[in-house]
Chains A and B, each alone.
Chain A
Amino acid sequence: MAERATPISNRRTVWGVVLATCLAVSAFCLIYPVYVIRPFRHQGVREFAAALLVLRFRQPVDVLCVLVTVAAAVLYWRNRPRLLARIAAIAGTIGVIAFSALSRVNIYELMFHPLGQPAFLAASNSKLDGDEHVIAVKIGGAARAYPIRSISYHHIVNDVVGGVPIVATY
């Protein structure tokens, strides 16, 4: 039979809803940008802009979610929910923390490790095949070549050539 709604169960509901909302928000912040901005998927202009906004603001949003979740979970717990509900509250809190932590992971740099500090070989010492393609740059008399085979993987090389800071991209 349905219980009469008591002040305690009302408070439980409120904190439960808060917790569930934080879980949904942190999950959205994690999943939406990766869903929109992925290879082999056409991106419309508006959804792309929206995904970038989420990317830019999700860290502070996540911090807020974690704090609110922990507070909500504690307050929920204090209102003596049943065992299953307690387990759900713990799972929800862990979920928010996990989504927030995962949001700090750059999955693109996991897939394509960044080059970091570039190192160079004199042309005469390089074992590259003659017919390998390179992107060649000459600045201030300094000539550099970036083999396409490696920069098509790393995608980005932060470098300084002839005193000019450049980013080689492919």
Chain B
Amino acid sequence: MWGRELDGIRFTFHLAGINNQNFLMRDEETGTYWQQITGRAVSGPLAGKTLPFVPSDELTFALWKAEEPQGMVLKDVAAYASEYSPKDWDVRMRKAPTVLSYARPGLAPRDVMFGIEAFGAARAFPAVAVSQKKLVLDHVGGEPVMLVVGPDDQSVRAFRVRLAGAAGPIDFYRVLPASPPGSPAPGAALMIDSATGSKWDFSGCAIEGPRKGACLEHVRTIRDYWFDWRHYHPDTTVFGIAHQ
């Protein structure tokens, strides 16, 4: 997700090619070619520039709708809707070939990861581990970071675990949501912190307890295949996998 205004030019982008499993786009206004994954211009009049980053979340529709009841959803284009991926496309894609591998013991090319690039480092968290544990406390680039599965049991967010006035590390614990999965209640308590016992919701804000009103900083995480994440982050470490 990128801003499309730079140096006073508002770009209109077109699909211009597929490059190592990500795609290339070209803006109508200058004819520059941009890489989708990095937002960087790789060829043309604006080569070397980077588009402004826009943070986004990957969530289930039900969870997003509960958080943003006034939100707007992109409409399908009727003419092409039959060509859209079926719901289980990411299951089928697991069997698709890859041009790059980076396979390692315990890491298949199309294993799904939650990738975090922040604080000067890159770290990949296998989706299977995150889904099982529901809440992972770890570090990226020396900063304490938490990944937590939402009340819908599918969406994942990452936060920087820094609380003003707290010395030393803080543990977070995920609590069982009060409502059954599939009916996420917005603002329901999802986590408790060990420092103060405050209750926090999936948006990273404390809704009860001494910390009520405080919000944790979101850390961007993207859902990606292992081979793709590793290709663009050669120095990445992997949660749960030791390195030589």
Contact = CB atoms under 8 A, between A and B. Distances in A.
Nearest to B17: A37
Interface residues of A, number: 65
Given A143-B68, A145-B72, A153-B83, A130 B62 contact: yes
B132 interface: no
A25 B155 CA distance: 51
A122 interface: yes
Given A130-B61, A132-B61, A165-B10, A123 B72 contact: yes
A156 B12 CA distance: 10
Contact of B84 (A129, A131, A149, A165): A149
A131 B62 contact: yes
Contacts of A147: 61, 73-74, 76
B36 A169 contact: yes
Contacts of B44: 52, 56
Nearest to A120: B72
B60 A144 contact: no
Contacts of A118: 74-75
Nearest to A37: B17
Nearest to A109: B15
A43 interface: yes
Given A42-B100, A43-B20, A132 B60 contact: yes
Interface in B40-69: 42-44, 51, 54-62, 64-65, 67-69
B14 A167 contact: no
A126 interface: yes
A71 interface: no
A106 B69 CA distance: 38
B11 A134 contact: no
Contacts of A37: 17-19, 24
A10 interface: no
B33 A133 contact: no
Contacts of B84: 149-150, 152-153
B56 A137 contact: yes
B43 A49 contact: yes
Contact of A131 (B4, B51, B60, B99): B60
B95 interface: no
B232 to A, nearest CB: 14
Top 10 closest pairs, chain A to chain B, by CB: A130-B62, A143-B71, A143-B68, A52-B43, A37-B17, A120-B72, A42-B99, A39-B18, A119-B75, A108-B15
Interface of B: 1-5, 10-21, 23-25, 31, 33, 36, 42-44, 51, 54-62, 64-65, 67-77, 79-81, 83-85, 87, 89, 97, 99-100, 152, 154, 182
Given A38-B18, A134-B73, 13 more contacts: A37-B24, A40-B97, A113-B79, A137-B57, A143-B67, A153-B80, A154-B77, A154-B80, A155-B23, A164-B3, A167-B2, A169-B23, A169-B36
